[in-house]
Structure 1
Amino acid sequence: MTPYTYLTVRQAATRLAVSVPTVWRWARERPDFPKPHRLGPNCTRWRLSDIEAWEAKHGEVAS
């Protein structure tokens, strides 16, 4: 099993150069945006590999 690198919502927002609420909105409303993974009761993260794949697909440049 390959270990994943996870990003917090704040880290994902910084990487994508958007606000934290925008990341949450995209996760809810955009079917092509990576869904978050719940790692515990108060721990939600995005896989870095999922964010990178989404950036590549959409021509986004990482910050």
Structure 2
Amino acid sequence: MSPVSLLSIREVASRVGLSSGYLRKLVIDQKFPAPSHRFGPKAVRWLDSDLEAWIKKMHLNVQVLKTMEGITNNI
């Protein structure tokens, strides 16, 4: 069993290239996964695996949009 990796909001923000404040807004708007662990009102952590899944989903969405754009440009 591999160890569970928990990431702070600063680490998450750094990985995805967004500010902590904007990440909080995305979580509230349900456009970004909510923290998986709460240790207090200001101490939250994300599972590394949840973050990786979100990044893959966003990458797939971009690929689908590019494919669709290519199809419409060829019509």
| Both structures adopt the same fold (TM-score exceeding 0.5) | yes
Where does the alignment leave 5 or more consecutive residues of structure 1 unmatched? none
SS in 1 for 2:14: helix
Structure 2 unaligned residues grouped into runs of 5+:
61-75
Show CA shifts across 1:22-50 (max 9, x none).
Answer: 1111111025x211120x22421111100
Aligned ranges 1:32-51 → 2 under 5 Å? 33-36=32-35, 37-38=37-38, 40-41=39-40, 42-51=42-51
Q: Which runs of 4+ in 1 moved over 3 A?
A: none
Match of 1:54 in 2: 54
Cross-structure match for 2:73: none
Matched residue SS, 2:46: strand
TM-score, L = length of structure 2: 0.66
CA–CA distance in structure 2, aligned partners of residues 34 and 3 of structure 1: 21
Question: Is the strand fraction higher in 1 or 2?
Answer: 1
Q: Which amino acid letter does the alignment assign opposite residue 35 of structure 1?
A: A
Q: CA RMSD in A?
A: 2.0
Asked if 1:21 is matched to 2:21, the reply is: yes
**What is the percentage of aligned positions where both structures have the same residue?**
34
Distance, in Å, in 1 between the alignment partners of 2:29 and 2:2 is 29
Report the TM-score, using the length of structure 1 for normalisation.
Answer: 0.77
Question: RCO greater where, 1 or 2, for CA within 8 Å and sep 6 or more?
Answer: 1
